[in-house]
């Protein structure tokens, strides 16, 4: 059993996608559907011969057919306004990008009367990749797009296996976008150029692993975690005056310090626990949070919380260019100690 009580049969293969071809439109008993010097097509699945999307302007009529019209044709007129990019072409592109890399196509599909397609690929190269203190990771390369021009083709690195519209939408919105382009002029060129960038996905994950491994080697007691959280969460004054932590901030510091020790997978021993405590609270909320999970997710992945998580990661991993040390982190911890000493 797979998803929505549907049975998954075998491993997805390219031929599971229908062959989709552009068919020219005709009217009035066989007259080609032309407008000016443009010709219109409709994408048709060859297994049942039904259209999968509305008609589109795919190319211009051959030069000899519009001879004498050169004076009224602009560069824009000499090209189609849409390039049909089919699921089988997407499959070939994904395989080309990942050539030489171990991968496994997890799921493929077409939705909304075959007007939308998706491919979800598990990066086997990273299957054994663990970060920090051995916690497992999951990397999927998801590629999707619409044949009806409603959704541009996009590829993103995500932890989500795409199996339905909800998971695809979640992956497209929260994953690390590696390619997003409208299927218009120069689409093919940009798709080809994107291969190098997407092939670096494994390298991106390796950099992430190295950063997390480094944090897992840095000791951090609960007392130190409390100092870092206090110094980071309490806003600095512009006039240099010292301020006390508010009750709300102190409660947040207490929650984070607790998560440093008892959060998901945490032991309260390293800076990796420190990072996970902070991201857990901003992603899932405090233990007694009353905000809906939907609102928490939106803020966590797209709002202020997303920016705050990124900044906290930078605090822990970025060295000062001049000293080569984590000067900002040291100052935050020192400030936190001062704040905690004020009764």
Query: Residues near 343 by Cβ (< 8 Å), separated by ≥ 6?
Result: none
Average pLDDT, integer, range 181-193: 82
161 vs 49: which has the higher pLDDT: 49
159 vs 81: which has the higher pLDDT: 159
The terminus-to-terminus CA distance of the chain in angstroms comes to: 59
The predicted structure's pLDDT at residue 39: 83
What's the pLDDT tens digit per position in 221-273?
Answer: 999 999 999 999 998 765 555 677 889 999 999 999 999 999 988 999 999 99
What's the pLDDT tens digit per position in 19-78?
Answer: 999 998 998 888 888 877 788 899 999 999 999 999 988 665 554 343 333 333 333 333
Residues forming beta bridges with residue 39, ordered by sequence position: 34, 59
Share of the chain above pLDDT 90, in %: 36
Q: Which residues of 83-121 are buried (b: 16+ CB within 10 A; e: fewer)?
A: bbbbbbebbebbeebbeeeebebbbbbbeeebbbbbbbb
DSSP H or E run through 336: helix 327-341
Band (81; pLDDT cuts 50, 70, 90): low
What global pTM score does this model have? Answer: 0.62
What's the pLDDT tens digit per position in 95-117?
Answer: 888 887 788 999 999 999 999 99
288 vs 47: which has the higher pLDDT: 47
**Per-residue tokens: 48:** 């049942």
**Per-residue tokens: 148:** 């009806």
Average pLDDT, integer, range 294-302: 52
Q: Determine whether 191 is exposed, middle or buried from the number of CB atoms within 10 Å of its CB (0-12, 13-18, 19+).
A: buried
Nearest to 219 by CA among 257, 264, 272, 262: 272
Counting DSSP H helices and E strands in the chain, the numbers are 10, 13
DSSP state of 326: -
3 vs 97: which has the higher pLDDT: 97
The predicted structure's pLDDT at residue 306: 72
The predicted structure's pLDDT at residue 76: 39
224 vs 131: which has the higher pLDDT: 224
DSSP H or E run through 253: helix 247-262
Q: Determine whether 212 is exposed, middle or buried from the number of CB atoms within 10 Å of its CB (0-12, 13-18, 19+).
A: buried
132 vs 63: which has the higher pLDDT: 132
Instruction: Of 6-15, 250-259, 302-311, give the range with the top mean pLDDT.
Output: 250-259
Q: What angle do CA 253, 259, 265 make, to 5 degrees?
A: 160
Collapsing DSSP states into helix, strand and coil, what is residue 83? coil
The predicted structure's pLDDT at residue 212: 85
100 phi and psi angles, rounded to 5 deg: 90, -5
* CA distances for 304 relative to 3, 301, 312, angstroms: 33, 9, 12
- Mean residue pLDDT of the chain comes to 81
């Amino acid at each position: 059993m797979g998803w929505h009580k549907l049975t998954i049969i075998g491993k997805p293969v390219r031929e599971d996608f229908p062959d989709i071809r552009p068919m020219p439109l005709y009217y009035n008993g066989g007259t080609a559907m032309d407008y000016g010097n443009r010709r219109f097509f409709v994408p048709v699945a060859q297994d049942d011969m039904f259209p999968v999307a509305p008609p589109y302007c795919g190319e211009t009529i051959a030069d000899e057919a519009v001879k004498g019209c050169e004076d009224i044709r602009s560069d824009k007129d000499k090209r189609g306004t849409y390039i049909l990019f089919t699921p089988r072409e997407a499959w070939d592109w994904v395989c080309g990008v990942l050539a030489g890399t171990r991968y496994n196509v997890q799921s493929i599909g077409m939705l909304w009367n075959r007007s939308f397609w998706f491919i979800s690929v598990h990066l086997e190269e990273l299957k054994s990749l663990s970060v920090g203190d051995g916690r497992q990771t999951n990397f999927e390369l998801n590629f999707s797009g619409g044949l009806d021009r409603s959704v541009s083709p996009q590829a993103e690195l995500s932890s989500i296996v795409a199996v339905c519209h909800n998971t695809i939408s979640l992956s497209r919105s929260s994953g690390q976008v590696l390619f997003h382009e409208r299927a218009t002029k120069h689409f093919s060129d940009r798709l080809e150029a994107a291969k190098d960038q997407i092939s670096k996905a494994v390298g991106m994950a390796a950099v992430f692993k190295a950063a997390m491994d480094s944090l897992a080697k840095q000791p951090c007691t609960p007392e130190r975690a409390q100092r870092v959280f206090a110094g980071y969460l309490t806003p600095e004054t512009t006039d240099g005056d010292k301020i006390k932590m508010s009750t709300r901030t102190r409660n947040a510091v207490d929650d984070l310090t607790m998560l440093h020790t008892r959060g998901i997978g945490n032991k309260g021993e390293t800076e990796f626990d420190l990072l996970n405590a902070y991201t857990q609270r901003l992603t899932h909320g405090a233990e007694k949070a009353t905000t809906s999970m939907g609102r928490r997710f939106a803020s966590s992945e797209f709002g202020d919380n997303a920016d705050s998580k990124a900044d906290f990661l930078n605090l822990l991993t970025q060295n000062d260019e001049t000293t080569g040390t984590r000067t900002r982190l040291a100052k935050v911890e020192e400030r936190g100690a001062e704040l905690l000493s004020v009764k």
